[in-house]
Structure 1
Amino acid sequence: MDTHTHIEQLPATIRAYLDAQEARDADAALSLLTPTALISDVGESFSGEESLRRFVTEAGAEFNYTTRLTGVRRDGETWVVGHHLEGDFPGGTADLDYRFLLDGERIERLDIVVG
């Protein structure tokens, strides 16, 4: 059952991660992940500190784009944050869901999928 909610209701860890990723602050983002965290971005997976650091600093860096949050909901134990992107990447627009699974106060898994 999906429960619609507002960005302010997201756990502080997820809000901090989204801010760190937007700022490309790898140290801040990595501090919010568990040691065994896994990030999957439209089918490509990243785990381990170096791979995750590369993801946070490089994902989408070759493009200019804007991001608008389109919604927040909870799907069981998973927090889903919708993003609408517009920019100079192939296709020009994309709707993505960031699906966060927490382990305590840290992020265990983030799946970024086409929404």
Structure 2
Amino acid sequence: MTDTRAVDLDGLPETVAAYLAVHNTGDPEREAALFTADATVVDDGGTHVGIDAVTSWIRRAEAAFTYTATPVGAESAGRDRYTVVLHLEGDFPGGEIDLRHHFTLRDGRIADLVIEP
């Protein structure tokens, strides 16, 4: 079992804070630049490995729906592992949802991101 602790949103690592800031901008290249070259993203039943696949995933996600993502809470499970809950509102089915974004960092970049309800 992993011990977690609550983290103030202002106390998140620079990379996670940058991801949250750029996530609503519609700039896939800036968002992708926050990931390692061999990053893995798991979202909506799909796994995307490598920066090209991650960049494609970002582009598809941004093109599919219009939405805003607001951070509502965060926790840490160690120095390089953070979970941020984002509240999404938009034109997707259901119109709103809270998604947990599990970040694993390596060398100041996002190495793994798992997104789940």
Aligning the two structures, in what range does the TM-score lie when normalised by the shorter sequence?
A: 0.7 to 0.9
Look up the equivalent residue of 1:61 and give its one-letter code: A
Look up the equivalent residue of 2:24 and give its one-letter code: E
Look up the equivalent residue of 2:85 and give its one-letter code: G
Distance 1:24 1:47 in 2: 21
Distance 2:98 2:113 in 1: 16
- 1:92 aligns with 95
Q: Is residue 42 of structure 2 the alignment partner of residue 40 of structure 1? A: yes
Distance 1:97 1:11 in 2: 17
Contact 2:48–2:54 at 8 Å: present in 1 too? yes
Provide the aligned length of Structure 1 versus Structure 2.
Answer: 114
Deviation at 1:21, TM superposition (A): 2.6
- 1:113 aligns with 116
Q: Give the root-mean-square deviation of aligned CA atoms.
A: 1.7
Question: With structure 2 as the length reference, what TM-score do the two structures score?
Answer: 0.85
- 1:67 aligns with 69
Deviation at 1:27, TM superposition (A): 2.3
